[in-house]
Each structure stands twice: as C-alpha cells, then as structure tokens.
Amino acid sequence: MLGGGICGLAAGFSLAEHGEQVTLLEAQHFLGGLATTLRGETGAGFDFGPHAYHARNQRVLDMFKEIASDGFPARGKNVRIKFRGKYYKYPLEALDIAKSMSPLLAARAFADYTVESLRRRIRPRQLVSAEDWVVQAMGRTLYSLFFGPYTTKVWGVPPANLAASFAQHRIPHISLAKVVVSSLRKGRAKITGTEHRYAPLVVELFYPPRGAGLISQRMAERIKKANSGNEVCTGALATAIEVDGDRVVAVRYREVPRTEQDGQLALLATGTEEKGNPFVAARSQEQRIACDRVVNSIPLPALVDLLGDAVSDEAKAAARFLRFRALTIVGLRVKRPQALPAQSIYFTNKTFNRLSETRNYGGSEVCAPDETILLCDITCDVGDRIWNASADELGRICAAELAEEGFMKESELAESVVLRSTFGYPVYMVGYERAIDTLMKELLRFDNLVTGGRQGLYKYVDMDIASEMGLAMADHFLSGKRKAEAIGNIPYEDRVFA
C-alpha cells in the first residue's frame, strides 16, 4: 500500500479484514493524508480544511459509520457564499444570482443566456476549454460575474487554460430552467439524480466530534489488529518500485523526518518535487520490501517517477504534463465559542477561498468549549508568497480579514498554524485527457499494480469516492481477475482505479 490517505487506508482495511497481509508506507508521521486532524499547541484539532463526510455510496457510508460507531453525527449542510456584497446559499442558485443584479444587468445576463442556448441548438461549437463550456451553458455575463474571476483565483490559471471537462464535471448546471426548478426545491428534494457523480448536491454531512482524522486513525488500527504481520509504517517515503518485466516485485523506501516546523503542522509531498520537497535532505539508507501486489494512492506523476525506466519516455512526458495546485490551510484558534453563521463561507475577494468553523460541522470536541477553530483554505503555488509566508504572518492577515467581516476581533486570536500540501487539487489543463490516455494505457501493462484515489487516479474527488476507489482496488485483488479484464474497456471517466 503506497500512501496512507483515506484511499490507501480503505484499501488496506478491506484487504486486512479479508485476511490478506498488508504493509502500508506513508511518508508523513501521521495517517489520513488530506483527511487528517493535526494537533496544535493546546491539543486543539486542525483539519486540512474541514473534512465533513458525505456519501452517495451506501457501502462507504456504512463503513464510516461502523468505524466511528461511538459518534458520527449528521448535520444539514449550511454553506454560504459572499457574492456581490451579500451572503447566499452555496452553491449559488439562479434566483439568488438574479436577485444580486440590477434589472439592467439581469436583462443582459438573460439575453446572453438565450443567445447561447439558441446557438447551442443551431450551430454548436467545439468546446475545448472550461471558459467555452461555461459561456455556452450560462452566457458570458454570468461567466464574467462569477465563474471567470473565481476560477482564476482558486486554480491559478484562467478558465481558458482549463479543460472543458473540468467545468462539465464541477458545474452541474446546464439549463437555466433546471436551475430555477432546483432553486425552488428544498432539502433532499433538490437531488434530482442528474448531478455529476463528482459534484453532487450534498444535503447532509457527517463529522466525528473529535475531528475528521478519527476515521483514518481507526482504519489504521484495524489494519494492524487484523493480523500481527500487518505493518503501518509512518515516516516511510516510497522512493522506487522495482519491476521485472511487467510485474512489480519490490518497493524501496527511506525513513524521513517529520515535516512540522514553526507553526507548520505538516507539509504533504511526494519527495519527487523539484521545488518544495521537504524530504530532499533525508539521506537514510533505502530499505526494500519484496511484494506480490501494490496498491498505489500517491500522486500519479510520482508513481510514474517511482517506476523509473520500467515506463516509456512517452508516459514520463505525459506524467510531467499533469500538475497539482498546492494548498495552504491557515488554522486559527480563536478565543470565542463560535464565530460563523454557517459551516463554511466562500469568498471571492479575500486571501482565502473558503472559511470554515469545524464546530459547526459537529466538531464539538476539537477544542476547549470557550474557543473555536477556524480554517482558511488558500490555494497557491509551491514557492509563491503564500507558500513562503510564516504561520504567524498568514494568521494575522486572515484574522484581520475575518475581523473586517465582523466574525472575530483580532485580539481574540490565540494561535495560528498552517497545513500545507504540494498536491491540493489536480489541475485539468486543456489537453490533460491526452496525457491521461497515455498513462492509462501504460499502467494497464502492470497487472499486479493498481492506482486510485484523488492523487493516484488524478481525479478531483471527495473522501467518499476516494474510499470507494480504495475498496474497489481491494475487491479487484481479491477477485483474482486480470486488470485488462476488470477495467480494460472502462473509459477513464468511469474508472475507480487504473
């Protein structure tokens, strides 16, 4: 098992419970990857952005509930967005967008939308970029008001550089008529079943009182308990995969130090980064584990690096094309019992993209009752101003912006921490499908190596789907089928592993 995020853990958990011997290698000194909860100076818990569990897959939800059987309460989703100076429900609904506009602007948006709808029917255009897709779906006025600027801020590139499939996957709204109907529905009735599987309309969220990381910790304990031969190794950076012909025969790894320092609770990285690699100085002796099967969940480009000369130059070039947007989460411990009127609030004009309060998700025990934890999600690039700023500096900036909104006083800030990852979001650049196609073909050769998860399959999925991918990889190995037989005819779009 390469990678101890929720995907690798779900795969290991399932294989271990079926009596298979499991060794899991995780580079960090903790488990859970992005789905973890790390402790600050008083023991208060900070997530990589709040990680609330939702599940459309009953098997995954049942697994989460069984693992956290002593407490996994559900709450109705209460997420907002500040748009044009006012707070609205998130995702933004057509009626709210209309309400936020002057009559003149609303008329222009509607005219644009009508023109695009007609054009779509009479003379459909080829949709290459996310910009093309959104403009044809919603019209240029709506695109320029929200989607264009917000996407550029979050992803660091304009939508003209992102693939059309990015928008298609993440934006379920195709017809304004459907959006209006959905706007009028309430609660569960909003779910029509036509939402994209990776961008569902979630109405209920589960969150363990002590923090999201509880599930990962428990899965790791269950893997070890299932068989005394099972090992869950932290601080173990996979450095190479040895291949004989088309079969993986061993994995090499190095022990690496913790990535926490000066208010940074962790820096997730693969060890293959040119910039921002926290393990670059680790020189411990490489160790080798012989194996008969490998489940990978570390980022896909790093997997290709680890395979070295066992893969073609074409595959190496394809892997280099894939890129991730990095992530800096600023965690604030604030001296007041509650701060926000919602679980999370999206902003278009602040340093952070999203602001969240773990307590409002159900994290009643993440910190002392008279304090609260606020998490500010900032997307960035490795080495940029945000990436290099200290926890103190970012804490002060975020606290000042929060005070401006009236959510706290700057004097109430008790602690600032940062959690970083070189891989926060897979960036679907125009042309990435070609690179993926090359990699999918190449990886089909290695029958005893499977890859899945948000990073391992390069899909922008949540914890439930990442776990589903882990379970699917375990099922596959338990089935004894050949990879080509199991997934050879399934397009990437529908694959849960490769």
Positions touching ligand FAD (CB under 6 A) are: 2-8, 25-28, 33-35, 48-53, 237-238, 268, 270-271, 297-298, 302, 327, 377, 424, 453-455, 461-464, 466
Q: What are the strands of the beta sheet with 354-357, ordered from one edge?
A: 86-89, 79-83, 344-347, 354-357, 372-380, 323-334, 413-427, 264-268
135/304 with CB nearer ligand FAD: 304
- Cβ atoms 178, 201 nearer than 8 A: no
- Give the chain's radius of gyration (CA, Å): 23
Least separation in angstroms between CB 20 and ligand FAD: 19
119/197 with CB nearer ligand FAD: 197
198/321 with CB nearer ligand FAD: 198
Least separation in angstroms between CB 462 and ligand FAD: 3
- Cβ atoms 331, 355 nearer than 8 A: no
Q: Residue 235 phi/psi, 5° resolution?
A: 65, 25
Can you list the alpha helix ranges (DSSP code H) found in 123-157? 130-138, 140-142, 148-155
Burial 244-264 (b: 16+ CB within 10 A, else e): eeeebeebbbbebeebbeebb
Query: Quick one: which of 131, 134, 133 has its CA closest to 157?
Result: 131
- The total of other beta-carbon atoms located within 10 Å of residue 101's CB is 17
Least separation in angstroms between CB 322 and ligand FAD: 14
The DSSP secondary-structure symbol of 124 reads P
Least separation in angstroms between CB 348 and ligand FAD: 17
Instruction: Give 485: exposed, middle or buried? Use CB within 10 Å, 0-12, 13-18, 19+.
Output: exposed
117/277 with CB nearer ligand FAD: 277
Least separation in angstroms between CB 350 and ligand FAD: 15
98/156 with CB nearer ligand FAD: 156
Least separation in angstroms between CB 184 and ligand FAD: 27
- Cβ atoms 463, 48 nearer than 8 A: no
176/248 with CB nearer ligand FAD: 248
Placement of tokens 């804490």 in the chain: 395
33/45 with CB nearer ligand FAD: 33
Distance of alpha carbon 284 from alpha carbon 143, whole angstroms: 51
- Cβ atoms 463, 35 nearer than 8 A: yes
Helix (H) or strand (E) holding 437: helix 432-444
Q: Residue 39 phi/psi, 5° resolution?
A: -100, 135
Least separation in angstroms between CB 297 and ligand FAD: 5
Least separation in angstroms between CB 159 and ligand FAD: 19
Least separation in angstroms between CB 422 and ligand FAD: 9
136/297 with CB nearer ligand FAD: 297
Least separation in angstroms between CB 271 and ligand FAD: 5
97/402 with CB nearer ligand FAD: 402
213/263 with CB nearer ligand FAD: 213
Cα distances from 140 to residues 148, 249, 261, 358, in angstroms, run 9, 54, 46, 36
